Structure 1
C-alpha cells in the first residue's frame, strides 16, 4: 500500500501531533487531496523553536491564504530567540484574526507588547487558556484585563 493511499482518518490523527508549518511544508505540494485536506483541519502553531526565515515564510503564507488563520486553535510565541518573535507576529497579524484561537502561550513577552495584547484579549471570545512564561511583571499588568476574556487557565512562571 502506498503512503498516499492511506485513509484520511489516519492522516488526520497524525496531524494532531504536528506543528502547522511542518504539515504545510510536508503535505501541501504532495497532491490535490492533501492540499484540500490540510485546509480543513484544526492547526496547532508553535513558533517557539522556529528560526526567523521559517517564521516569516509561514506568516506570509497565512497572509496570502487567510483561511489558514481560521484553522489555528493553539498559538505559541516566544521571545527567547534573538529576534522579538511576539512583536514580529503582531506586525503581521492582530490576534482577533484568529477567530478559533483557544490557547495562547507567550514566552518572555516584553512590555511594549502588553498594550496590544491587553486591548485584544477581551475580543478573543474562544480563548480558554492563556499562558505567560515567565515574566511576572507582565503577568500582573495583564491580570487587570483578564476578567473581560475569562480564560479557564492562566499560568506563570515556569515550564512544562
Structure 2
C-alpha cells in the first residue's frame, strides 16, 4: 500500500467515523434517571406524611425545588444534571422526614414525662423530703410477764429474738 494514499484519504475518514461513534456513545451513555426521580418523589411524599411542613419546612421546600429542577432538566434532556438534582432532592426529603420524626418523638417524650412526674406546688417543693427510715428499729423495753415465759425482744441488731426468763432472776425482782 502506498503510505501517501492512506494519509490523504484514510485519516479524514477515520476521524469523521470516530467522531460520529463518540457522539453516539455520549448520547446513550447516561440512561434517563426516571427511577431516581421516582424515588425522590416518593421521599418528598413521605416527608409530607411525616409532618415535615410543620417540623422541617426549609428542608421540605428544598427537596420540592430540587425535584422540580430535576424534572425540568429531564425535559431538557440533561440527564446527568437531572440525576444529580433528583439525588439531592431525595437526600433533602429524607432529612426533612428525620427531623420531623425527631420533633414528634421529643414531643411525645415530654408528654410522657409530664404525666409521670406529678406536679408539685411551690410550697411542697420547699419542704424537705422525709428522712430515710433507719434499718434498725429503736430499742424498746418490754416488761416481762409476772408469771415467767418467753418474751420477744429487740436488742438493736435484729428482730425476732426471744428471751426466756424465770421470775426472780433479774435484778430488782420480787420473790
Classify the TM-score, shorter chain: under 0.3
TM-score w.r.t. the length of structure 1 is: 0.20
TM-score w.r.t. the length of structure 2 is: 0.18
Q: In terms of Rg, which structure is larger? A: 2
Greater helix proportion:
2
Greater strand proportion:
1
